[in-house]
Structure 1
Amino acid sequence: MSAPQEELQKTPLHALHLELGARMVPFAGHAMPVQYPAGLMAEHHHTRASAGLFDVSHMGQLRLVGPDAAAAFETLMPVDVIDLAPGKQRYGLLLTDEGTIIDDLMFVNRGSDLFVIVNGACKVGDIQHMQDRIGSRCQVIPMPERGLLALQGPKAVDALKRLVPGVEKLVFMTGAGFQWKGVDLFITRSGYTGEDGFEISIPGMQAETFARELLAQPEVKPVGLGARNSLRLEAGLCLYGNDIDTTTTPVEAALNWAIQKVRRTGGARAGGFPGAAKVLAQLDGSEALTRKRVGLVALERVPVREHTELHDAHGMGSQAMRVGEVTSGLLGPTVDRPIAMGYVPPKLATPGTRLQAIVRGKPVPMEVSAMPFVPNRYYRGPAA
């Protein structure tokens, strides 16, 4: 007999998703909307043009509390936590002792604590990892009682400021507390679509009412996981479990930008994170990389999915050598062509390099491409 399936958890917006006609799928242990009746393509284009509302309540929210919290958290990641100013947000990477990626996350210095958002599929392990490693230095407090909404797109600010005046003053990668009808919100100007937008932490009990008010705004439509995936891939952003995992280091994943200078070279705070010897050796070139994450564009209109083998462009059939693998891929709705990310040897990582993807036994010509595939439109403040 097969083992009984574990019952899926439901987000605070579950009933609303069903009411809106969402197609629900299992994702990170939750029942989540993959798309609504309008469909993935329409939801994707609407987010790029206006404002899409995403339920991301499956993700893990937690607080790190105590005077030593920043210094403690910094011991787990190759990231500058101590110097992050209040109200500022940063991207971080939890690493194994071998320097590979346990999870990628976002965190904000809220002055009184560090507010951390981790991936849904990793949250139980992440929280346990933090409690085991730094629980004696600060409190690690999960926040399962809160929902999380993402409002993304160029008109997100227009819709949200009607409900929460003042959010328009936030700029990319900043956050602050707000009130909505007496409810405490914490809002960051960030997201994972490449567009301007916001992530809104709200008590779960009020999440549905707030979501309904957002959906009543003329700019806003609901968007599911399918379009969230196509948007993040066009933005050149990694999906944990596909493009990064415990087999990849930050340098292999081309995430060097996430490792601030103070953690790299010289000074008391250089190194000191799990796997530092390996990661720093890859950064300075003393340990050669065997692979690197790249963007890829198909030269024929054939979608190239994850786990597709990549071969060199020279030689055919048995003479063509396997050189890598696609980790994410689909037909990009905005660019209207097949795009992908994958890993190849560094000598093949230069934009313009030709490769072959083997799709159903047939070679599809691919070209290494710079990322993002669609220019990011984050709001960094009024133009000078």
Structure 2
Amino acid sequence: MANDQAMLTTPLTALHEELGARMVPFAGYSMPVQYPAGIKQEHLHTREGAGLFDVSHMGQVWLSGEGIAEALEAMVPSDLVGLGMHRQRYGLFTNEDGGVLDDLMISRHEDGFYLVVNAACKAEDIAHLRAGLPASVTLTEMTDRALIALQGPKAEEALAKLQPEVRKMKFMDNWPMTLLDSPAIISRSGYTGEDGYEISVPAEVAETLARRLLEDEHVEPVGLGARDSLRLEAGLCLYGHDITTRTTPVEASLGWAIGKARRLGGEREGGFPGAQRVLQQMRDSAPEQKRVGLVAEGKAPVREGAVLYAEGGDEPIGEVTSGNFAASVGAPIAMGYVRADLAEKGTTVEADVRGKRRSMTVSSMPFLRPGYQR
């Protein structure tokens, strides 16, 4: 599949193939799903050392011009007017019904805002931004850059060998700096639940950077398979699965992503698409459904699409949206939506797995303690 002309490639494709990656199509790109060590070992290595991920398929966008904070804030529930310089926030694009169009990362710089959007929604997100932003704001799609994630407790040690300033960064800092004599944008963040960095560099520098990082004994390449199992353990949503246009931020247990200033009684209450419905759900504390963590009995995972029932019940009360065996937790875990009255931690529900009921317990998330550098 890596040689399929219909597939887009990243600046690291040749390196993935050299390292023995199994390449699969993902969001229109040929991407590594795993390397010879295997998904479980890659997952555990990231929790213990440092995993190197190619996320260059994601969209990188730069916004510049007058009134960016106010204009972008009108499209997301985040507080962007109050966002500090070189700081980053998790954001959501919502539609007029309050459903989630995509999730993204937003950071503020002296000369603009830097956005990272999901690969599968990249074209739609950019069109959405162009349609929603005023003429005073210029949107530049940064197609000439790669994006590399370095995740795990040894990430700081490995990256600091190339740029010592990264030691000073805290969780959700986003700093412009020089790396391998090239302009880089580095955030201390990621999507694994571990300390780490996401590193944007010019495409021509990406392979050299990856090779230099892999020279560190603690750094190993990690594919999409372990990236998915890591983010599930961290209780992090995958767009198109755990959040969609059919789920609001409140239903998705993402109310924390709505800035304090944008909430009920805030100085800039509402003002984003779907605000009436979203704020009504916050006001009433009564959405019909809620995203919850779930832990199953036994060892077999309960996969996406499994219908959920109340214990001993006959009527469906929800559905699993992500599920896998969690290598670090040592149990089958899942995320899914349940009827709001069954969302309390400790509640027992049942999943229909190939016609048989599996007992699952509603759990808090994340499923393991995050390692973020705060």
- Identify whether the pair has TM-score above 0.5, normalized to the shorter chain: yes
TM-score between both structures, scaled by the size of structure 1: 0.95
Q: Report what 1:157 is aligned to.
A: 156
- Number of matched pairs: 371
Specify the SS of the correspondent of 2:369. coil
Write the mapping of 1:81-92 to structure 2, written as runs, cut at 5 A: 81-92=80-91
Per-residue deviation, residues 213-272 of structure 1 (Å, max 9, x unmatched): 001111100000000000000000000011001111000000000111210123551111
Q: Which amino acid aligns with 1:357?
A: A
Q: Report what 2:288 is aligned to.
A: 290
Distance (Å, rounded) in 2 between the aligned partners of 1:133 and 1:37: 45
Is the Cα contact below 8 Å between 2:162 and 2:180 reproduced in 1? Answer: no
Note the residue ranges of structure 1 that are not aligned, 5 or more in a row: none
Q: Report what 1:325 is aligned to.
A: 319
Q: Report what 1:303 is aligned to.
A: 301
Deviation at 1:135, TM superposition (A): 4.2
Is the Cα contact below 8 Å between 2:260 and 2:266 reproduced in 1? Answer: no
Distance (Å, rounded) in 2 between the aligned partners of 1:263 and 1:37: 47
Deviation at 1:67, TM superposition (A): 2.4
Q: Report what 2:260 is aligned to.
A: 261
Q: Report what 1:352 is aligned to.
A: 346
Q: Which amino acid aligns with 1:292?
A: K
Specify the SS of the correspondent of 1:350. coil
Is the Cα contact below 8 Å between 1:62 and 1:117 reproduced in 2? Answer: yes
Is the Cα contact below 8 Å between 1:298 and 1:366 reproduced in 2? Answer: yes
Deviation at 1:297, TM superposition (A): 0.2
1:213 aligned onto 2:212 = yes
Per-residue deviation, residues 58-84 of structure 1 (Å, max 9, x unmatched): 000001101211110000011100110
Deviation at 1:6, TM superposition (A): 8.0
Distance (Å, rounded) in 1 between the aligned partners of 2:58 and 2:31: 11
TM-score between both structures, scaled by the size of structure 2: 0.97
Q: Which amino acid aligns with 1:157?
A: E
Distance (Å, rounded) in 2 between the aligned partners of 1:367 and 1:321: 18
Q: Report what 2:224 is aligned to.
A: 225
Q: Which amino acid aligns with 1:84?
A: L
Deviation at 1:137, TM superposition (A): 3.3
Distance (Å, rounded) in 2 between the aligned partners of 1:25 and 1:136: 39
Is the Cα contact below 8 Å between 1:300 and 1:365 reproduced in 2? Answer: no
Per-residue deviation, residues 104-123 of structure 1 (Å, max 9, x unmatched): 00011011110000000001
TM superposition outliers: structure 1 runs of 4+ over 4 Å: none
Is the Cα contact below 8 Å between 2:60 and 2:114 reproduced in 1? Answer: yes
Distance (Å, rounded) in 1 between the aligned partners of 2:367 and 2:358: 19
Distance (Å, rounded) in 2 between the aligned partners of 1:203 and 1:149: 11
Instruction: Call closer, same or farther: CA 1:27–1:135 in 2, change over 3 Å.
Output: farther
Q: Report what 2:118 is aligned to.
A: 119
Is the Cα contact below 8 Å between 1:72 and 1:137 reproduced in 2? Answer: no
Deviation at 1:165, TM superposition (A): 1.6
Per-residue deviation, residues 96-145 of structure 1 (Å, max 9, x unmatched): 11111010000110111100000000011001100011042311111011
Specify the SS of the correspondent of 1:265. coil
